[in-house]
Amino acid sequence: MNILVVDDADDIRLLLRYALTPFGFSISEAASGVEALSFLEARPALPDAVVLDIQMPMMDGLQTLRAIRGSRRTSALPVVLCSVKSRDVDLEEGWRVGCDGYVTKPFDVEQLVDEIHAAIDRRRRLQGNGGPSLDPSR
């Protein structure tokens, strides 16, 4: 499975690459929301999911998520927020904006892996019920 990791911190992207690769994920990286959106537009095939930090300069993770949900091509892309923001109000905002999962930093790697799989499964179930397709050609 291909995962796009979006975080402005180099060390977090590196940590996620090393943590997720043994679970069978191939990792692409973006250092900002703008870079992530450019990546998603430029690639012929979308990743299987996005792991997205919330606190980033210029375009934060919630703004990035809104843009992902607002694009016909990426609207059904599974997105897991991964953030230090752990208050109930933060989680509620993430779900309201359209995330498919939410993990707080510091995170347990297996919890993150489970959340990624659950997010992908939720999106696939939505597609089976007439929801938006992950296939950009449809």
pTM summary value = 0.88
Backbone angles phi, psi at 73, to 5 degrees: -70, -35
Task: Establish whether the linkage from the previous residue to 47 is cis, with ω within 30° of 0.
Answer: no
**Which CATH architecture group holds 2-128?**
3-Layer(aba) Sandwich (3.40)
| Per-residue confidence in pLDDT tens, the chain, 138 aa | 999 999 999 999 999 999 999 999 999 999 999 999 999 999 999 999 999 999 999 899 999 999 999 999 999 999 999 987 666 777 788 889 999 999 988 888 999 999 999 999 988 888 776 544 444 333
Q: pLDDT value at position 136?
A: 39
Burial, 11: exposed, middle or buried (Cβ in 10 Å; 0-12, 13-18, 19+)?
Answer: exposed
Q: What is the pLDDT of residues 65-82, one digit of tens each?
A: 999 999 999 999 999 999
Count the alpha carbons within 13 Å of 68 in the hemisphere toward its beta carbon: 33
User: Do the Cβ atoms of 3 and 9 come closer than 8 Å?
Assistant: no
